[in-house]
Amino acid sequence: MGINFYIEQFKAEINDIYKAYRFSHLGLYHMYSTVKNMKAQNNLENFRIQDQELNVDILFSDEEIQKASEYGFYQKIIAGNTISMFYNLWEDNYRSIFAQIQKMKPTDIKNDFFGDLGKIRNSITHKHYQRSSEINMNIRNYP
């Protein structure tokens, strides 16, 4: 199969990951709004998720529920995981495919966007969502 086939496949997979991110973001935001309203209307002290199959019981304090808000920490986790998935799809799959088609080594296939995404992914993964000086100095502006 030609490179255009794999480019289209790559774009479709990126699109699917992005859709999953948007659904997760919306679901988390909806959960935040629902819990906040339920607590206010019913004078509840805590929100609880109980999974009997796994024997897990989690209580969410007001502070933890706030982390699910629009710019809260749980939303940041979902966004960070999505960025990491974009980069990993490139690095672990398509970079090698494109290299093979071009009869090159994967390390010879370079892309500025995915290079920058790799720096962001490293900060997400290895610096617990903290920017590194490498990101502050070297990330390009994309349209």
Q: What is the pLDDT of residues 86-136, one digit of tens each?
A: 999 999 999 999 999 999 999 999 998 999 899 899 988 888 877 776 665
Residue 2 DSSP label: -
pLDDT at position 94 is 96
Sign of CA dihedral 123, 126, 130, 135: negative
pLDDT digits (tens, 9 = 90+) for 54-93: 888 888 888 888 888 888 899 999 999 999 999 999 999 9
Question: What does the alpha-carbon distance between residue 79 and residue 34 come to, in Å, rounded to a whole number?
Answer: 21
Please state the pTM of the whole predicted model: 0.80
Both structure tokens of 132: 């590194």
Is 71 in a helix, a strand, or coil?
Answer: coil
pLDDT at position 97 is 96
Radius of gyration for the chain, computed over Cα atoms and rounded to the nearest angstrom: 20
Q: How confident is the model at residue 47 (pLDDT cuts 50, 70, 90)?
A: confident
Backbone angles phi, psi at 22, to 5 degrees: -65, -40
- Give me the half-sphere count of Cα atoms (radius 13 Å) on the Cβ side of residue 20: 12
